[in-house]
Amino acid sequence: MDRKTSESILKQQLNTNPTDAAAAAALGNHYFDEKNAPAAIVYYQISLANNPNQPGVMTDMATMYWNNQDAGLAEHFFSKVIELQPDFGNAYINLGLLHLHVKKDAVQAKKIWQRLLDSYPEHPAVAKANELIQGLDN
């Protein structure tokens, strides 16, 4: 199925059932892949309004805020994911990258990644955190 057809089907699903968090998240992902931050954010917000316990969706929404030049909102939502689900490693990676690249604060980025390493040493994102810390130390 092509992307346009998929988009149409998902919109139809959401119009039939406006509380369909999965369809809204899928539309958000569609627009994420299209690099259409404003549209992705709208559908991620709908999804989270209907099912707030989706750290992946919230992290993707934060990424889209960042891509939309809304670093403050991105930081807020990355931090909220960590607060609500402290073992969600991708939020640490992304929050650290935001501090490094947007805020130009390598010290804070390293602290965020180190917190992931210290708290969840077995998490799959630890390899990326180690790589990023090594890059700072070189």
The per-residue pLDDT for range 115-126, each reduced to its tens digit, is 999 999 999 999
Residue range 1-52 forms a domain whose CATH class is: mainly alpha
State the sign of the Cα–Cα–Cα–Cα dihedral 41, 72, 96, 52. negative
71-138 maps to CATH 3.30.300: no
pTM, entire model: 0.92
Do 79 and 112 meet the contact criterion of CB atoms below 8 Å apart?
no
Number of H helices, E strands in the chain: 8, 0
Q: Where are the domains of the chain?
A: 1-52, 71-138
CA distance 76 to 105: 16
Amino acid at 132: L
pLDDT digit string (tens) for 63-73? Answer: 999 999 999 99
**Above 70 in pLDDT, residue 1?**
no
Same fold flag, 1-52 and 71-138: yes
